[in-house]
Amino acid sequence: MKEGFEGLWPALFTPVKSDGTPNYEELHKLVELLISQGLDGLYILGSSGQGVLFTEQQRKEIAKNVCDQVRGRIPVMVQVGALTTAESIRLARDAEHHGASGISSVGPIYYASSAEMALEHYRSIAQATSLPFFPYQLGKNSIPGDITSFIGQLVEIPNVAGMKLTTTELLEISVIHNYAGDRLKLFSGADELICHASLCGTVGAIGSTYNLWGAQCKFALQEFKNGNYNFARDFMLAFQETIFTILPDVWTFLRSAMLLKHQIDIGPTVAPLGNANKVWKPEDVISITDRIDALVSAELPH
């Protein structure tokens, strides 16, 4: 059930037009680019994909377009979290119908969440299909109560195969791994901790910057696992500095960088997301992207 769920997965951008509707031409180009780079999977309609900002029908159409285009060449995990459990179930069944490899979901949105509410939400989604299910946890604040008690109940839910853990708390990741062992395949959702999280039991990583630097990050992670510590340290320090630099205006940076580097326009955010981002100078964007590229190029055999 859990085969193929590992490695580096971009949290796929959903390119949009100026009116906020999906731009399928640019989406097609982006999917082909990431497949050609040898990345390990695509995580669609998460935060980077602006999933909850689209209508239910738009989300279904996006999932269909990606799954139809991929045709089994790369695993696709669809994030189906929604305001209501019923909508999440409909999105999950639709994803299964279109051939997705797995589904994921955030916990209950907006309403105050107890462990019982979150687990029942996950149980309803997980049992709606036969697909592997990966709850998407935003750090310990979205795991109510005692973490081991929560994970103990989670692993008893049919079809739960792993988790996406967007946290900078490495101890939290290792606690989950040490408790669940191989029962859960854990993905790090913190781009700046790719290598660090692998020491805590993750089998892969899902992140937005992998749309832009997926091949470079995959190379760095593999080199780290192969024992090339000095390169991995230098890469991660530069990558973390880059993330720190771009984070205040991250969407406008990524939009400009994708255009300059890959001629793909991911479009504006769907307001209010990113509506205060400032515009970057092209020369600053190029300087940042060239630095990351150069670190990997210097390590490759010539």
Per-residue pLDDT of 251-293, as tens digits, reads: 999 999 999 999 999 999 888 877 788 999 999 999 999 999 9
Residue 104: predicted pLDDT:
97
Asked whether residue 176 is domain-assigned, the answer is yes
How many independent structural domains does the chain possess? 1
pLDDT tens digits for range 8-26: 999 999 999 999 999 999 9
Decide which of 111 and 260 is more confident: 260
pLDDT tens digits for range 32-68: 999 999 999 999 999 898 888 999 999 999 999 999 9
Asked whether residue 282 is domain-assigned, the answer is no
Asked whether residue 164 is domain-assigned, the answer is yes
What mean pLDDT value characterizes the chain? 93
Residue 298: predicted pLDDT:
87
Residue 300: predicted pLDDT:
73
CATH number of the domain at 200, please. Answer: 3.20.20.70
Asked whether residue 134 is domain-assigned, the answer is yes
27 touches 65 (CB < 8 A): yes
Asked whether residue 124 is domain-assigned, the answer is yes
Asked whether residue 283 is domain-assigned, the answer is no
Residues 116-131: what's their mean pLDDT? Answer: 94
Residue range of the domain that includes 142: 7-226
Beta strand 162-165 pairing with 102-106: unpaired
Asked whether residue 222 is domain-assigned, the answer is yes
Asked whether residue 264 is domain-assigned, the answer is no
Residues 237-257: what's their mean pLDDT? Answer: 96
